[in-house]
């Protein structure tokens, strides 16, 4: 029973770590995508004002 408890706690820890990294990667992906779109829109507006 104790071995099962250790196994499940280790499994839960690994699962939470994977979930945390997954959320981190998703957050970074959305953040960089938004900044890239913002950068593109700024470049487009600058091109419109320049030319």
Please tell me the distance from the alpha carbon of residue 46 to that of residue 39, in angstroms, as a whole number: 10
> Residue 2 falls within a domain, yes or no?
no
Residue 51 in this model has a pLDDT that exceeds 60: no
pLDDT at 50: 59
Confidence (pLDDT) at 24? 84
Residue 51 lies in a domain: yes
Residue with more model confidence, 1 or 7: 7
Dist. CA 16–CA 23, nearest whole Å: 10
The pLDDT tens digits for 5-43 are 878 888 878 777 788 888 888 888 888 888 888 888 887
Q: Place 45 in a pLDDT band, splitting at 50, 70 and 90.
A: confident
How many structural domains is the chain composed of? 1
How many Å apart are CA 26 and CA 19, to the nearest integer?
10
Residue position matching structure tokens 């487009």: 44
Domain interval for residue 39 = 24-51
In this structure, is residue 47 part of a structural domain?
A: yes
């Amino acid at each position: 029973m104790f071995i099962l408890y250790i196994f499940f706690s280790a499994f839960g820890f690994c699962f939470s770590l994977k979930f945390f990294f997954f959320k981190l990667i998703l957050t970074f992906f959305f953040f960089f995508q938004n900044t890239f779109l913002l950068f593109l829109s700024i470049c487009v507006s600058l091109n419109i004002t320049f030319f």
